[in-house]
């Protein structure tokens, strides 16, 4: 963790002055190495904050004074000049460290705001599929990561993407936002998941550095498996496998038979088909959840999340997963966490059959509209409404053409403009 690295750097800055002091004593009063003790303050300023850099600077000054006292040359002019240089250098190092930390804090806050803007908590239900997504930022000592998720309601069904950008900070957030936008564009215009991911990869690759990549997992939910079942197609590009949570069964990871490379490395993922029955759930997640560690260094066991994921309401289950993760890490997350919990909801007829048979099922109530970045479910308009929209658009185009030609007499433009406004208003209201 970053706090442990800072402690190690503090120890390095302090110990670096010891060989300099020992060498000064061995050389004797004829030669002084006191000026080299400024290295301690400079080392501290590169990684530590202002107070700790100031403490290291004071330590270097006291160490130089102690060596000078040992050699009985504290009052000499050359030694006083060296001590003054240590004071000024330490003061500058302390100020520089404080400015650097303030700048990093501003960048972190900007990254956090941007990350929350593109990863808002999302809950919605589309047909028999209920979705609840959550994002939890890491502890203040950690840098903002590049976690992402996105949804698209396409003619083939609900498509989702969850991924993680390599790296931290604003650059990772920028790439995450780009990946979300490219996925949404591709999800509506390509027939299957491999084509969607290939198009996303083509547009994302020019934005990536030589060592950058984006792990991603795409899923498509369709009702093709049966009247009470949902077919889920998965395409994994180097991401953590989702956790399948059957209503009656043991949780298991759905790992691909052949691993694929992440986005940015031209992946060619194979598609996996999974059939979900009523009450079955799937947990999609980023490495912040899979690699969350407690104080002893033990990672979270995904099987232990089964009770949290099994809460009756899907939103309550998502909140329970967050709480379980925070308990495991004592509230100190080293990385951001994003996850999506999906459930196949039983239909009304299926719930009635279960009630008559005395079988209890786990259902998620219909929840409100989705928030950004989730695309809200698009209404399926009846044919009559689509026909009215087409007629109104045709009238509007015809009216604009008449105005452009200037036909119909002196009063025609005003009359035609009014008709155009009415036609466009009807289209807007129906959409």
Q: What is the pLDDT of residues 202-245, one digit of tens each?
A: 999 999 888 889 999 999 998 766 667 889 999 999 999 999 99
Q: Is the peptide bond before 373 cis (omega within 30 degrees of 0)?
A: yes
Listing DSSP states for 90-153 in one string gives HHHHHHHHHHHHHHHHHHHHHHHHHHHHHS--EEEEETTEEEEEEEE---TTSPP-EEEEEEEE
Q: Please state whether beta strands 271-276 and 252-253 pair in parallel, antiparallel, or not at all (unpaired).
A: unpaired
| Contact present, 64 and 70 (Cβ < 8 Å) | no
pTM: 0.61
Which residues have a Cβ under 8 Å from the Cβ of 91 and sit 6 or more positions away? 57
pLDDT value for 298: 83
Residues 6 or more apart whose Cβ sits within 8 Å of residue 228: 277, 278, 346, 347, 350
Task: Please say whether the beta carbons of 217 and 166 come within 8 A.
Answer: no
Helix axes of 17-27 and 50-70: crossing angle, nearest 10 degrees: 10
User: Residue 74 has what pLDDT?
Assistant: 72
Question: How confident is the model over 266-303, as pLDDT tens digits?
Answer: 999 999 999 998 889 999 999 888 888 877 878 888 88
The segments of the chain whose pLDDT lies below 50 read 1, 141-142, 351-361, 363-386, 389-390, 392-394, 396-431
DSSP code at position 345:
P
Enter the tokens of residue 216: 């991603």
**C-alpha–C-alpha distance, residues 309 and 337, integer Å:** 16
């Amino acid at each position: 963790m970053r706090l442990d690295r800072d402690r190690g750097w503090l120890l390095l800055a302090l110990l670096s002055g010891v060989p300099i002091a020992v060498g000064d004593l061995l050389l004797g009063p004829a030669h002084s190495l006191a000026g080299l003790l400024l290295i301690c303050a400079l080392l501290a300023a590169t990684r530590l904050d202002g107070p700790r850099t100031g403490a290291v600077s004071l330590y270097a000054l006291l160490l130089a004074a102690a060596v000078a006292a040992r050699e009985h040359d504290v009052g000499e002019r050359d030694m006083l000049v060296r001590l003054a240089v240590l004071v000024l250098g330490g003061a500058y190092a302390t100020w520089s460290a404080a400015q650097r930390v303030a700048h990093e804090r501003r960048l972190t806050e900007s990254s956090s705001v941007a990350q929350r803007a593109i990863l808002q908590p999302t809950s919605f239900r589309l047909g028999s599929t209920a979705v609840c997504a959550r994002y939890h930022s890491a502890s203040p000592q950690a840098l903002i990561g590049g976690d992402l998720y996105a949804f698209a309601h396409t003619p083939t069904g609900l498509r989702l993407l969850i991924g993680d950008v390599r790296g931290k900070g604003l650059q990772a957030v920028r790439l995450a936002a780009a990946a979300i936008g490219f996925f949404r564009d591709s999800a509506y215009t390509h027939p299957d998941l491999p084509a969607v991911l290939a198009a996303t990869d083509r547009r994302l690759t020019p934005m990536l550095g030589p060592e950058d990549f984006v792990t991603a997992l795409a899923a498509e939910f369709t009702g093709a498996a049966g009247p009470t079942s949902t077919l889920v197609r998965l395409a994994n590009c180097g991401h953590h496998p989702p956790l399948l949570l059957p209503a009656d069964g043991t949780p298991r990871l759905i790992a691909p038979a052949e691993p694929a490379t992440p986005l940015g490395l031209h992946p060619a993922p194979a598609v996996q088909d999974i059939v979900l029955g009523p009450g079955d759930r799937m947990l999609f997640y980023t490495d912040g959840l899979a690699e969350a560690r407690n104080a002893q260094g033990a990672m979270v066991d995904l099987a232990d999340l089964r009770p949290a994921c099994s809460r009756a309401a899907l939103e309550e289950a998502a909140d329970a997963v967050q709480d379980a993760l925070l308990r495991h890490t004592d509230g100190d997350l080293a990385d951001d966490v994003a996850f999506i919990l999906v459930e196949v909801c039983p239909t009304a007829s299926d719930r009635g059959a279960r009630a008559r048979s005395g079988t209890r099922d786990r259902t998620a109530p219909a929840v409100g509209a989705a928030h950004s970045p989730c695309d809200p479910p698009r209404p399926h308009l009846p044919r009559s409404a689509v026909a009215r929209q087409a007629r109104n658009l045709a009238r509007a185009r015809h009216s604009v053409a008449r105005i452009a030609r200037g036909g119909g007499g002196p009063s025609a433009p005003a009359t035609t403009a009014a008709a155009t406004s009415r036609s466009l208003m009807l289209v807007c209201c129906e959409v």
